[in-house]
Amino acid sequence: MIKLSDIRKIYNKGKSNEFEALKEVSLTINDGEMTAVIGKSGAGKSTLLHILACIDSYEDGEYYIDDMLVKNLSEKKLAEIRNSKIGMVMQDYALVDDFSCIENVLLPLDFAKNKKANKTELAMNALKSVGMDGMAKKPVNKLSGGQKQRVAIARAVVNEPSIILADEPTGALDSKTSAEIMGLFHKLNENGKTIIIVTHDMEIANQCGRIIEIFDGKIKF
């Protein structure tokens, strides 16, 4: 379960270009929910997602993952959470460009606290689940956008995290490829994963069980 209470995010605090991107956001997302986060450009959607992914800080408020107060966690424990509890899919894929598909997917397995013996097999399975097993050895900078997004999803799921966060995963893709990618998220959701997708595409949002709209850094009800 994810719980945010009164989260405030201020960029450039104390400087002349100070900007409050999130204003007292409170939110609860239950396990197994598939949620869409929508809102205008600049509303704070990505900011929210990055905080949820434990890769950005916030000024005020409390964030709990499975009843753990994130603020109190050590750097090491946080890394462990990013590694095993959360799978993150970024809008621009965020892959290591000159690694092959499998090398990218192996990263979370390499960083895992509990080392698994069959890493290559697990990585291949993850690639298979997104239909990319045929290109495992190919460097990702030779792939198309849709293929990159699949590899990014494979990397996000390879450690079997319970939460998957995706920032505009279909933003750069044509509608056919978008539908295929959404199919993957649906399948993951059916397998019990909590899924949060940031999108500005209402068609995508409507496929999710729940829609949260952000407006000017606040959740709109």
Partner 1 sequence: MKNICKLSLKMLKRNKLLNIYIIIQMAIVFAMTIFMVSSLTSRYHYYLPFKKFIESDGYFCNLTSATTVLGKYVQCSSDISEAVYGAEESNVQASYRVNLSNIHEDNMYALFSYSYDEEIYNNWIPDMQEGNWLSDIKNSGSEEIPVVVYDTTHSMKLGDVLEKQSIDYIEDDQGNGKNEVKKIKLRIDGILSDDAEIVHYNELEYGDCRDIFSTVKDITEREGYETLYLFRSQDIHSADIFCMSSGIAFINTNCNISDELKNENQTIIIGITEDFMELKDFQKNSQKYITDEIKKIMPIFLCILLLTIIITISVNAITTYKEVTNYALYYICGLTWKMAMLISLIHAAFQTLLALFTAVISMLVCYFINIFSNTVLEFHPLQILVCLAMIIMNMIFAFIMPYIIIRNSTPREILTSN
Note the residues at the interface with partner 1 (CB under 8 A).
46, 50, 53, 55-57, 75-76, 78-80, 82-84, 88, 90, 92, 94-96, 98-99, 103, 107-108, 110-112, 155, 159
Q: What would the x/- binding string for ligand ATP be over residues 7 to 26, using CB under 6 A?
A: ----xx------x-x-----
Question: How many residues bind to Mg ion according to rule CB under 5 A?
Answer: 1
Exposure class string for 160-197: b at 16+ Cβ within 10 A, else e: ebbbbbbbbbbbebeeebbebbbebbeebbeeebbbbb
Token pair listed for 124: 């291949």
Q: Which residues contact 217 (CB under 8 A, 6 or more apart)?
A: 9, 20, 21, 22, 23, 25, 43, 44, 47
Whose Cβ is closer to ligand ATP: residue 46's or residue 207's?
46
Span near Mg ion by CB under 5 A; candidates 17-25, 27-35, 38-46, 116-124: 38-46
Helix (H, G, I), strand (E, B) or coil at 29: strand
Q: How far is the CB of 41 from Mg ion (least distance, A)?
A: 7
Q: How far is the CB of 110 from partner 1 (least distance, A)?
A: 4
Question: Among Mg ion, partner 1, ligand ATP, none, what does residue 19 contact (CB within 5–8 Å per kind)?
Answer: ligand ATP
The CA dihedral of 52, 34, 83, 79, to the nearest 10 degrees, is 10
Per-residue CA distances from 111 to 25, 108, 156 (Å) = 32, 5, 13
Helix (H, G, I), strand (E, B) or coil at 9: strand
Whose Cβ is closer to Mg ion: residue 46's or residue 189's?
46
CA nearest to 108, candidates 117, 99, 97, 119: 119
- Residue of the chain from 25, 27, 34, 46 that contacts Mg ion (CB under 5 A): 46
Q: Is there binding between residue 74 and ligand ATP (CB under 6 A)? A: no
Token pair listed for 119: 């890493």
Whose Cβ is closer to partner 1: residue 76's or residue 176's?
76
Whose Cβ is closer to partner 1: residue 79's or residue 179's?
79
Q: Name the site residues for ligand ATP (rule: CB under 6 A).
A: 11-12, 19, 21, 39, 41-47, 200
